[in-house]
Amino acid sequence: MAYEREKENAAAAAIEFVEDGMTLGLGTGSTAKFFVELLAEEIADGLMVKGVPTSEDTRRLAESLGVPLLPIEHVDRIQLTVDGADEVDEKAQLIKGGGAALLREKIIANASDLMMVIADPSKQVEVLGAFPLPVEVTPFGYTITAKKVYDALRASGVSKPRIEVRNGSGSKPLVTDGGNYILDCHCSIIPDAPEAARLLSAVPGVVEHGLFIGMARTVIIGQDVGAAVIEY
């Protein structure tokens, strides 16, 4: 896996922010996996925390490592969520959803006192959009929704979006943990991410999109040795 050391160093720096008694949002993806693994080691050494997983993959991982979990319905406060990102710009605006977990990731990040992003340096960009933007849509009417998503992206200033339904196994659409499909929107550049987010949220059939605007307050970029912690 590329940037393995940088991902692990970002996760290790995030562990420093964890305190006894916290309820933690547990992100999804290869960087978040390092965090869950390191957290499990701390728990084995006596740390008392509970986790709220952002996907079934993370739930299975955390359970297998003995991380105590809380069902989302029993959570009244999440002090800290630690999650990866597909892209992060200089304003801590993110593209997420490469692992198809963006809906639960956004619900849990939004419910948290602090969302912390952990990433390797390849995720830092000047302008969002090189990574295809995931948009989660209901299966019902998804071809119509895709056209409206195209219109919304165009109206936000994306010049030539190209939209693909993400495939799972075989050539069938991938089905998310929430039972929905993912449209991967190839934009190259998203010149006005807040406007794109606003317009996408208004499209009927769009359940959620992978633009996380104004949510991350701490970004940790892992380095070959150590990590850079950026506060917003």
Total residues at interface with ligand 5RP (CB under 6 A): 18
Give the residue, chosen from 39, 100, 158, 190, that forms a contact with ligand 5RP under the rule CB under 6 A: 100
The answer to whether 126 is a known catalytic residue is: no
Regarding 6 and contact with ligand 5RP (CB under 6 A), the answer is no
Residue among 204 and 214 whose Cβ is closer to ligand 5RP: 214
Minimal distance in Å, beta carbon 177 to ligand 5RP? Answer: 10
Regarding 220 and contact with ligand 5RP (CB under 6 A), the answer is no
Please check whether residue 210 is in contact with residue 96, taking contact to mean a CB–CB distance below 8 angstroms: yes
Residue among 25 and 98 whose Cβ is closer to ligand 5RP: 98
Buried b (16+ CB within 10 A) or exposed e, 131-145: bbbbbbbeeeebeeb
Minimal distance in Å, beta carbon 46 to ligand 5RP? Answer: 28
- The footprint of ligand 5RP on residues 55-84 (CB under 6 A) is 83-84
Minimal distance in Å, beta carbon 30 to ligand 5RP? Answer: 3
Give the residue, chosen from 52, 101, 146, 152, that forms a contact with ligand 5RP under the rule CB under 6 A: 101
Please check whether residue 105 is in contact with residue 54, taking contact to mean a CB–CB distance below 8 angstroms: yes
Please check whether residue 103 is in contact with residue 178, taking contact to mean a CB–CB distance below 8 angstroms: yes
Task: Give the range of 39-47, 91-99, 140-148, 173-181 binding ligand 5RP by CB under 6 A.
Answer: 91-99
Vertex 124 angle, CA 122 and 125, to 5°: 115
DSSP class of residue 75 equals -
Catalytic residue among 6, 105, 136, 208: 105
Task: Give the range of 42-50, 72-80, 98-106, 135-143 binding ligand 5RP by CB under 6 A.
Answer: 98-106
Q: What is the largest CA-CA distance in the chain?
A: 53
Nearest-CA neighbor of 122 among 199, 7, 203? 7
* C-alpha 27: how far from chain center: 7
The continuous run of DSSP H or E covering 39 comes out as helix 30-44
Regarding 27 and contact with ligand 5RP (CB under 6 A), the answer is yes
Give the residue, chosen from 9, 28, 58, 218, that forms a contact with ligand 5RP under the rule CB under 6 A: 28
Give the separation between CA 15 and CA 146, rounded to whole angstroms: 39
Give the separation between CA 109 and CA 117, rounded to whole angstroms: 10
One-letter amino acid of 90:
E
Active site residues: 105
Residues forming contacts to ligand 5RP in the complex (CB under 6 A) are 27-32, 83-86, 96-102, 105
